[in-house]
Chain A
Amino acid sequence: MTLIDFETYRWDAQNCVRCSNCRWVDFIWMASLQFSKICPSSARYGFDAYAAHGRLEIALALANGELEWSPKVLEEIYTCTLCGACDVKCLRNVGLEPTQTLEWMRQKAVDDGQGPMPEHKAVAENIANNRNRYGTPNDNRGKWLRSDARPVQKADVLYFVGCNSSFKQQQIAQATAKLLNASGTEFMILGEQEWCCGNQLYNVGLVDQAREMAEHNLKAIEESRAKTVVASCAECYQTLKVIYPKLMGKSTTDLGFEVLHITEHLDQQLQNGKLKFTAPVNMRVTYQDPCRLGRMSEPWTHWEGKRGKYGIFDPPKPRRKGTYGAYDPARNLLNAIPGLQVEEMERRKDQAWCCGASGGVRDAFKELALWSARERIEEAKEVTGAEAIISACPYCKENFTEVITADKERLQTLDITEIMLQAISPEGKEAC
């Protein structure tokens, strides 16, 4: 059975006025024709079936039995990065939540034995067999650890490393650990008890398998008695903070622990004087807001009820509009680094352009993922003249890296932890 009940959101599909706001950057913030779009799949393919409003029509037709599944319909559904921009835009004015329906369609595809895409099934199989998305033995999960990163056995803070930084871009995990040490934060890790967070499983509609991950990780966190879980990956962060409560039928506040992204935690340490950047990093950079750290990261509030005339929720349902995403911590940190010149792109914060990697798109529609990253790199170069694009999610970095390498770009890409590591004072570095 699907986790999302389409009947709750049928009203949205029926009452989407097709204003197309969900395809565009907030009109106030729109600063040019060139960087005016916000929905990657709509911008890439053009047909409205690849925009939120078209997908709502498709959902309605599927629910009404007026449209049959086909490979093309699956493509229309799965080429969405679930970046959440359409929710932010629609909730601003019309008040609908299209991403609930976008998620429902994927869950229905799985339920009907049609989805997810073959590439997603391969990742799901890796996770089922090895508890990580890459299919390597999970007891290698702690192998990123170097002697200069010092977790402890018991601490209030648990660092949830994530598959990508555990197995692929280990330098991000290493930088995170050093920064935690340098900011005086004692932390522990789960080692092989950490399983894939399940972000992609949930996003492609594999709800049961995602719930299995949630149950295991939540139990492991509970047993660790951590008060705070820190993630350096935006996907893990959103999964722990938003998707787990959603899967478990509760609210973020009922999790029993606090979820922080590394940028939020280090910003706190910066504000209270425990983290200092003293080594200049003379570089011009721009910052990519990861969707899952920004507009999609607002806490989840469990809601049960019904919907009446004018689409009114009874009892009132809190909407997640992207207002309270974690936009400022990363900026505070970058701006505190001596010598670093931070320039903003036109599409920023809640209006950021998705790098293209998420929602299972990088696995199943690599061409779209890279196209989206290329668009962003173009914006970074043209608008800011940056030497580097900094992100706070390993998947953004991975996607940017592939384009930068293929196109032989002079622009670099770095994870925010990597640039912060360069800025730690010599004493700070010694302390690591």
Chain B
Amino acid sequence: MAILKEAYQALESIVGPEFVSDDPGIREAYRKGGYGKNRPALEGQALRPGCVILPGSTKEVQQILKICTQYKIPFIPIGCFGIATQSPKVPDVLSIDLKRMDYLEIDEKNMYAICGPGVIYAQLQAECLKKGLATEGPGCGVGATVIGNHLNAGVGPLEYRMGWAQRRMLGLEWVLPDGDIVTLGSTSLDDEDYFWGEGLGPDLRGVLRGTFGWQGGMGIVTKMATKLFPFPGQDLERTGISPRTGFNMPPHLMKWLNVFYNSIEEAAFAMHELSKAQVGMALMTAPFSWRYFSRATSKEDFHESWQEALPELKETTPYMMRIMLVGLAGPKQLEYEEKVVREVIGRVGGDVREGRPFDESWINNADAHRIMFPGGMETSMKFHFDSLDASIELAKAAAELKRKYTPPLLDDYGIPGWLQMGDFGHVAFCEILVYFDPTTDPNDCYQHEVGFVESVRQDLELKAYCGLQGSYGPEPQIIGPAYNNYHLKEKELQDIFDPLHISNPPRPLDYAYGIDLDIDLSPQK
């Protein structure tokens, strides 16, 4: 360990010996993982942290960050480690695992929850459903921490109705890299009051988060309030044994409608018209491969049935739009919404079929990581919030690009990703997925990275809002000049809030691995 003995002792005196460790085994467990694992651009050499600490309170977090400032120790905040940006890229970091801070309070009447950084979505959802409320679990699954996800991504199926995570953030408590506390919104007026996100004067939530956040590069949020939404959770019935577990949906209150199309444009137009009618709880066009992932009993089973189905699917290329309808005010609302959907589809076209009243994915995203099932690792060639028209263009362009590298990348045909409406039609989200397995085929990784760079260039040509690529890993310096040099402004802010650059360096602006510079794209050994 290269963290000074004196600093270690100071950390130990904050949390006690049980909750800090420099043991090599414990450190090894904080080296790798999450979205982008095995992508050298994101995780770099994935060094072992110098030490790992588990704080139990805001006060402890403050004291820890003061020690980090005093000894110039780089630190990484860790929720569930769902993203590889938590792999230490510089030596001797302090990994701050926040899981002990699982404070949760729900204000039922005012429909918000205050969460500690250790609370995961599933816990929040479990408590919400009992109270006739709900949150929106992200597509990566409800194992993600509420705060970790609100700070960096926050995209999931119910976003159509509930909005993108950053737009659900209310009052919060934030420990800056030097250990000082900042409270936002109404919390700045009253420590106990998390109701009001904006507060008086400038709203720092934009600084804290932006498009895809700082990846731990802005201190630690120790409490955050998030909006909740009405949902008939008490009427859901839990059922099944693993791996086939799900909710039986109350037929008088919830319904699935699946609508089939021959082209993505037709599906998108229908999504647009439906969101204009302001109906539905979720609205998405998903690739057919998802059906095969979710039904497969094993990887082998998936590949066998997928290979069998591919030729015909490629011929017919149907697109499936799924709509979840919920009668929030009762059965009459469900009836009304169904009528509206059928009327709209009658007008714009589409083959409507009613789905089984069962959900394993959208309400609680229990099976989200099934998208890993067919391949090794999954990342996104596109991950964009844009207008619906731009999203379609992007999706098609990315699908074309991906085919160029398939094989070795998994052949999942058509538009290999999802297209959904967010914020009740105000934005569309498109994610194009890529499956690669550098652990058995080093060439995969190479092809993947090359494809990724091309995809970024494609975004620039199409003038797309390259959210993810602009925030994770090495692309900002390619994208920055095309977008008002946002990355330089980000750097200025970082200098103000983290002048010592100790909060998860070198993220989020990771120049060392610049793709246009000298990133090593040779096949991984």
Contacts and interface: CB of A to CB of B under 8 A. Distances in A.
Contact of A46 (B30, B100, B297, B439): B100
Contacts of B395: none
29 contacts: A11-B376, A15-B377, A17-B377, A18-B34, A18-B80, A19-B372, A20-B120, A20-B143, A26-B242, A27-B125, A27-B364, A28-B247, A30-B122, A32-B130, A47-B54, A48-B29, A57-B28, A58-B29, A70-B25, A73-B23, A76-B23, A76-B25, A95-B299, A95-B372, A308-B440, A310-B437, A312-B303, A349-B241, A350-B242
Contacts of A67: 24-25, 28
A387 B175 CA distance: 46
Interface in A93-116: 93-95
Interface in B49-94: 52, 54, 80-82
B266 interface: no
Interface stretch (A128-136, A165-173, A242-250, A320-328): A320-328
B439 A93 contact: no
A49 B441 contact: no
| A14, A20, A94, A319 interface centre (most CB from chain B within 10 Å) | A20
A382 interface: no
Nearest to A76: B25
B240 interface: yes
Given A28-B238, A92-B242, A95-B373, A17 B37 contact: yes
A68 interface: yes
A273 to B, nearest CB: 28
B238 A32 contact: no
A46 B99 contact: yes
Contact of A31 (B19, B126, B240): B126
Interface string B141-172: 11100000000000000000000000000000
B203 interface: no
A51 B410 CA distance: 30
Interface of B: 19, 21, 23-26, 28-35, 37-38, 52, 54, 80-82, 97, 99-100, 102, 104, 119-120, 122-127, 130, 140-143, 238-247, 297-301, 303, 360, 364-370, 372-378, 410, 435, 437, 439-441
A36 interface: yes
| B25, B35, B243, B370 interface centre (most CB from chain A within 10 Å) | B25
Contacts of A20: 80-82, 120, 143
Nearest to A45: B18
Interface in A58-85: 58, 61, 66-68, 70, 72-73, 76
A80 to B, nearest CB: 13
B188 to A, nearest CB: 27
Given A36-B126, A351-B242, A57 B31 contact: yes
Nearest to A91: B243
Contacts of A27: 122, 125, 141-143, 364-366
A237 B67 CA distance: 53
A17 B19 contact: no
B360 A28 contact: yes
A16 interface: yes
Contacts of A32: 123, 126-127, 130
Nearest to A72: B23
A57 B32 contact: yes
B26 A94 contact: no
A289 B163 CA distance: 40
Given A46-B100, A323-B244, 20 more contacts: A14-B439, A17-B369, A17-B372, A18-B34, A18-B82, A19-B82, A19-B143, A24-B120, A26-B242, A27-B366, A28-B238, A28-B366, A47-B29, A48-B26, A57-B33, A73-B23, A95-B372, A310-B375, A310-B440, A317-B300
B303 A89 contact: no
A313 B365 contact: no
B473 to A, nearest CB: 17
Contacts of A313: 298-300
